[in-house]
Structure 1
């Protein structure tokens, strides 16, 4: 399997409040496969999906297809919001729906990593007709407080590395317990995706104010769950990935997800935690196989 990255077009659309949102657009709207929409994690960007989006758009398995990868407001090349309170699931989900409309996506397979999976589950209520199939990457209706505490401990507080080797060392200090199975090449790729822009400049790729909504979380109290939204995906083909070292998606929650969604496929990524990076050929191949299989399902009229 060749994982060479394809070129993409940078699209910009206006959110409901006028903020500019950036989307990577791979492939062509004329490609025959059902489009794929990739939604990243809390402080992550569209760059996380580069190898996977290229494999899907290039038809490594099955048909070529259009693939969109979004930068939420305050991340990547999207504009930062002067009001940090808009870094919420409600506002961001509206942004996702705005981008779908602007780019002519009526039906798609959604790949949601962490926060992106929360948005995917939410779409079962806010735009159910858009969801053809679902890949949930290390996310479920229940968020483990231990994982949320770890995420709150670093978002907005990470120092800016001076170089790629410095970035690798920083990520190893932060993430080595979660990602025990990465090679040196994996760590370098992870560092570049995390800290460099399209021209190689090093820096944080998100607004530090993303930390503010997290500060208001009371992790001593049970977090709200999304079982109702997850159940809204019944009848949709689903692939669930879990990092074997994950502290956000528990094995117990994964078991309950599989029970509630008969036929859901499960793939555990060994040596990785929250969330799997989607850089390894096994995970990419599993997702490509799943997406190609769902192309054969009947599309709604």
Structure 2
């Protein structure tokens, strides 16, 4: 029987009820396989990783436990009344609380965008959690164009009248970044970006997140994080890059490779920021990287 995803709820240090998705390996033959901890993007949720989670947990060669978190203010986690807590350091602490709650001491971290920044923060903090890291379209340098585009897309959006309208709205926003997505894929994305509540569609994140980006402008980019990147030296490292990404430049990728010649880079065609990690080719490469981490451990 195939392994299935189930919900986990835990408490943050400041008392919020937070949510994660957890899936155990499909067979008992996974004792030597490291667990995988999936960290989503800024406004994204644990549901983004469902396809990857099922593929890793049900892998015939090396089935493994996979956990994906909803940060505070996202998915099924509580909103935080203090928007200052929507920050990488606080969310990093929540990730560590989840790992402790589930008894995970070492894991391969798959970090999409914001999740990758949290992985870098864990490295900078010297966390022993990192047995390997997959950075999904993020690096030590964030391009201004991508940062400003994200800023413009975060916040309260007009409520769609139907699921089809929700899918079309996403296609208008991100169609240039994902030109090859089918209508079915846009509808699936809509189901992750909205949920039905009290007879209406509601966003799956706290619109107050927009306020955390208010001070950002084209003249105030995020500072580079090369020291944090260099702190990953002891961990196997993979980079998934969207060929159409405006957040991670090829110059930055080349600089990353010069500092880490062993960096494994996989480019996803016809996808921008951030690759969806749900196609067969990407999943196959992540599986191979996880096996590399197992051997290193």
- TM-score (ref. length: structure 1): 0.92
Q: Alignment length, in residue pairs?
A: 292
Q: Give the whole-Å Cα distance in 1 for the aligned partners of 2:19 and 2:36.
A: 16
CA contact (8 A) 1:109 1:133 kept: yes
Determine the C-alpha separation between the residues in 1 that align with 2:71 and 2:196. Answer: 15
Are residue 23 (structure 1) and residue 20 (structure 2) matched?
A: yes
Q: Are the counterparts in 2 of residues 181 and 270 from structure 1 also a CA contact under 8 Å? A: no
Corresponding position of 2:148:
149
Equivalents in 2 of 1:107, 1:201: separation in Å? Answer: 40
Residues 244, 269 of structure 1: 8 Å contact kept: yes
Contact 1:73 1:80 in 2 (8 A): yes
Between the aligned partners of 1:223 and 1:64, the Cα distance in structure 2 is 38
Tell me the secondary structure at the aligned position of residue 80 of structure 2. coil
Contact 1:197 1:205 in 2 (8 A): no
- The match for 1:164 is 163
| Runs of 4+ displaced beyond 6 Å | none
- Structure 1 gap segments, 5+ residues each: none
| Structure 2 unaligned residues grouped into runs of 5+ | none
Q: What is the Cα deviation at residue 28 of structure 1?
A: 5.1
What's the offset of the Cα at 1:127? 4.4
What are the superposed Cα offsets for residues 139-173 of structure 1, whole Å, 9 maximum, x if unpaired? Answer: 00111111111111111132222222111110111
Could you tell me how far apart the structure 2 residues matched to 1:295 and 1:284 are? 16
Shift of residue 249, structure 1, vs aligned partner: 0.6
Give the distance between the partners of 2:241 and 2:12, measured in 1 at CA: 32
RMSD between aligned residues: 1.9
Aligned to 1:49: 49
Further displaced range: 165-174 or 185-194: 185-194
The alpha-carbon deviation at position 14 of structure 1 amounts to: 0.8
